[in-house]
Structure 1
Amino acid sequence: MDLFYEEKPPLAKRVMPENLNEFVGQNHLVGFNKPIRTMIEKKILHSMILVGPPACGKTTLANVISKEFNLFFIKESALTLDSDSLKKIFNISSQKVLFIDEIHRLVKPKQDMLLGPLERGEIYIIGATTENPLFIMQPALRSRVFVFELMPLSDEEKKKIILNAIQKDRFFSNYDIDFENNALENLIKSSFDIRKALNTLELILLEEIKEEKKDKKLLVSNEKISLILQTKETLYSSYDGHYDTISAFIKSIRGSDIDASLYYLALMLESGEDPLFIARRLVILASEDIGLAYPEALPIATSAMLAIERIGMPEGRIILAEVTALFAALPKSNSAYMGLEEAIKSVKEEPVMKIPPHLKNIEIKAFGKEEKGKYLYPHEFPNHWVKQKYLEIEKKFFTFGNLGFEIKLEKWHNSLTGNIEKEKKVDE
């Protein structure tokens, strides 16, 4: 066998596990009595979404599941999956697993097309995404799938995968492969994800083989690792890097540190993050952290997201920079968010209050008697406001913040509702 003249897939592809026992990592899903192993052992498959950072095993696990169930495996990307392709897949007579990579990019009309075949049991869907599916999948589809989060591979798990690959590969298993001191650890640390580590290892070994050593001994040296991995890594491709960086970005804007916010934005963009992912987080931040202190933040963030979608990169980074710097500099308020949390707490922990009769949509007939209150239409009164009962029991959930536009808003609201004492405090 000659690897140089015979067309071969890369090492990472050649040594993919054939069954669950060969799969390394994600013990919280595939370990004893864990959900995916239980599905396989009981021969009861359910559609699922696998959420996790790049190169944590989403595609590999989906492939293993299809093999364990002896199902036809179809791999598609949400970016290229069109309606005609879906119809052709549905028409395949054999039982099948449709793996949809980047399922967070699957538009809702195509999500709708999956509902019927899923309901009839004609197909199993396994989706892969790096984003929270609760935000990007319609409720009808979410209710038909399980969502499993995949964790980053530990260094020990990566080491096991690399050593197993050397032994399993039908080409490299013919050689005596050794690692220089700390070379294996260096390969893992420098590559950051297992796919790159395996492909880097393959390049080093092929270079060694070219030297035509008679004893078939190959050495993986630190020098050759550094030579191949010339590009500077940002650690962003790791699970911690991906989620910690977006967390640091949001917290820096919340903390009004413009320079830190722009640094983390640069780190994400240079690491290849989807600019729309960043834009969506800015939309959330506009309401959660700026809120009523500057209500225009929400339409600004929404417009920025639309602009980035229309313009794309690299120019889209300028839009993100502008919004990031602006939001970091703006006054902050979470009063609306916290008010909602207080209202939710009341709904969960206390008896649900009855809706006052005058606020109901229709007349209520109980025991032959009509119950109807007199609703006062605010627009018929001065300043479009009139005092009337809106809750069965008066409750206080919302408190105004003391920055930006919210100061004016509170002053207006107090003058409107006759809260004179509070209005005086605002003036002071």
Structure 2
Amino acid sequence: MLARMTLFDPPAPLAERLRPRNVAEVVGQSKLLGPGRPLTRVLASGRLGSLILWGPPGVGKTTLARLIAGEVGAHFVALSAVSAGVKDVREAVAEAERVRGRGQKTVLFLDEIHRFNKAQQDALLPHVESGLLTLIGATTENPSFEVNPALRSRARTLVLEALTPEEIRGLLERALTDPRGLPGVGAEAGALDLLARLADGDARRALSTLEVAATLSDPVTEDAVTEAFGRHLPQMDKNGEDFYNLISALHKSVRGSHVDGALYWLARMVEGGADPLYVARRVVRMAAEDIGLADPQALRLAIAARDTVEFLGSPEGDLALAQAVVYLALAPKSNSVYVAWKRALDAVREGETLPIPLHLRNAPTALMRVQGYGQGYAYYFDDPEGSFAQDYLPGGARLDLYAPTGEGWEARVEGRWRKLQEAHGEAPEPEESEDTAPGAP
């Protein structure tokens, strides 16, 4: 006779009940599990090495780890780096030594391995090297940044991809027919399509939402899905790779003058919970780096947007960010100052140290004046021609750091820049053509 289930003994969540029981039931990851693919070959050989499974949430990293261990007949120990420490690793090692006496290997699954610090990751090394532990680490973060090189070199990194809407929909359909799922519950086709799209490739999120929606409506409707889902917050780890990729996408969209792209990536960051002040600082940088003197007003507007965000906070200040991003995307572009500044720094860091000409030096004391400091300096407003004739770099040295572009404000001042170069005797040499080349008739 079955025991009666009470409120204190609720059923496992739908996502847990529908975990694949074998590799054939895994949804998605065809690049890893298809014919001749990496994991398929590993499982067929029966020889398992350490792995790092890298992918977004809800794509089956934990499930795959369990199935892999089962396929090769290994003892499975699961730890979460959120709560585990070196003590737990030692206990897993002791357990692995015990089962090794029975001729069985141990797979240590470490979820969110990126949350282990360097010392904790180093504690795993000798046991992975000796073969006592076969490590399967799971992470949503780029292992190149979050996993120690020594540990990373001893494990093969496999990239798991977010499930497609079609794959999510198939999983939802299975949930409505599988005896372990929600048999007998119906769902409108539009509701499943909506949920498959909102899930962002996360199977766990899709199944959890379906389970809630089924308590609100049978058959499940689009309105029930919307209510169960709540506010749609796009996935973004505020300190992870996604965050910096979004910043990169925003910056490059502004630089490429793609207004809609810039607005979309900004909205993704704001809705994902990014710090508005951090985003505002990056927008100020875009104004200085990519718009520059093509539109000197851009930097003022970006600073104003930053101040507005600081003054109003979110969501009111978000509109100022959007205004600045649209302005910067539409503005003419120039990185002339950015390039000139890098050249100036390179000249200081890598070139010889140029002495300051005496006539440009400050002369606050009589002794300095006797030494010639400041003597011969031509004050522009008293002697414009003399001012242009004097050297501003020692010995007539020439660096050619800045050159205006033909964009915006710089296009309007390019003629003055050329005249100033001529006045200082620094006009660029005309390029030789076939008519002016030596020996031309």
Q: TM-score, normalised by structure 2?
A: 0.60
1:198 shift after superposition = 0.7
Cα distance in structure 2, aligned partners of 1:101 and 1:265: 31
Provide closer, same or farther for how the CA distance between residues 207 and 412 of structure 1 changes in structure 2, counting only shifts above 3 A.
Answer: closer
Instruction: Tell me the amino acid that sits aligned with residue 101 of structure 1.
Output: D
Q: CA deviation at 1:330?
A: 3.7
Shift in Å, 1:151: 1.2
Q: Residues of 2 paired with 1:29 and 1:118: CA distance? A: 23
Deviations along 1:216-266, whole A, 9 cap, x unmatched? xx41212211222231333659xx987863441353587799999898467
SS in 2 for 1:91: helix
In structure 2, relative to structure 1, the CA distance for the partners of 1:140 and 1:420 (3 Å cut) is farther
- Aligned equivalents of 1:412 and 1:88: distance in 2? 53
CA contact (8 A) 1:49 1:146 kept: yes
1:68 to 54, 71, 80: 71
For 2:285, the aligned partner's letter is F
Q: What is the CA–CA distance in structure 1 between the aligned matches of 2:286 and 2:162, rounded to whole Å? A: 31
Structure 1 residues 219 and 171, CA gap change in structure 2 (3 angstroms): same
Matched ranges for 1:173-192 at <5 A: 173=183, 175=184, 177-192=185-200
Among candidates 333, 336, 339, match of residue 402 of structure 1: 339
What does residue 150 of structure 2 align with?
140
Cα 1:63/1:255, change in 2 over 3 Å: same
The size of the alignment, in residue pairs, is 306
Partner of 2:278: 320
Gaps of 5+ in 2: 100-104, 291-336, 355-392, 403-420, 422-441
Secondary structure of 1:268's aligned partner: helix
Superposed, which structure 2 residues align to 1:6-155 within 5 Å? 6-92=9-95, 93-94=98-99, 95-155=105-165
Residue 199 of structure 1, aligned match among 208, 219, 235: 208
- CA 1:98–1:189 in 2, change beyond 3 Å: closer, same or farther? same
SS at match of 1:403: helix
Q: For residue 163 of structure 1, what is the amino acid of its counterpart?
A: E
Once the two structures are superposed, what CA deviation does each residue of 1:63-109 show, in whole Å capped at 9, x if it has no partner? 22122223333322223221111111111022322222222222111
Task: Classify 1:401/1:170 alpha carbon distance in 2 versus 1 (closer, same or farther; 3 Å).
Answer: closer
TM-score by length of 1: 0.61
Does the Cα contact within 8 Å between 1:53 and 1:152 map onto a contact in 2? yes
Which position in structure 1 is the counterpart of 2:398?
Answer: 423
User: Shift of the alpha carbon at 1:153?
Assistant: 0.7
Distance 1:319 1:261 in 2: 17
The verdict on how the C-alpha distance between 1:402 and 1:120 changes in structure 2, with shifts beyond 3 A counting, is closer
C-alpha change, 1:409 and 1:262, in structure 2 (3 Å) is farther
Q: Which residue of 1 aligns with 2:379?
A: none
Judge conservation of contact 2:251–2:286 (CA < 8 Å) in 1.
Answer: no
CA distance in 2, matches of 1:84, 1:235: 33
Quote the Cα distance in structure 2 between the aligned partners of 1:409 and 1:262.
Answer: 35
What CA distance in whole angstroms lies between the structure 1 residues aligned with 2:128 and 2:345? 53
| SS of match in other structure, 2:76 | strand
Following superposition, the deviation at residue 39 of structure 1 comes to 1.1
Change (3 A) 1:410 1:256: farther
Provide the residue aligned with 2:221 in structure 1: 221
Distance 2:229 2:282 in 1: 32
- Aligned-pair identity in percent equals 32
Secondary structure of 1:182's aligned partner: helix
Tell me if the contact between 2:216 and 2:224 (Cα under 8 Å) persists in the aligned partners.
no
Q: Which moved more, 1:150-159 or 1:243-252?
A: 243-252
Q: How far is the alpha carbon of 1:55 from its aligned partner? A: 1.5
Say if 1:251 and 1:419 are closer, same or farther in 2 by CA, change over 3 A: farther
Q: Which amino acid aligns with 2:117?
A: V
Counterpart for residue 248 of structure 1: 249
Structure 1 unpaired stretches of 5+: 209-217, 274-316, 333-399
The alignment partner of 1:18 has SS state of coil
The 3-state SS of whatever aligns with 1:124 is strand
Deviation at 1:321, TM superposition (A): 4.1
Name the CA distance, whole Å, in 1 between partners of 2:401 and 2:245: 39
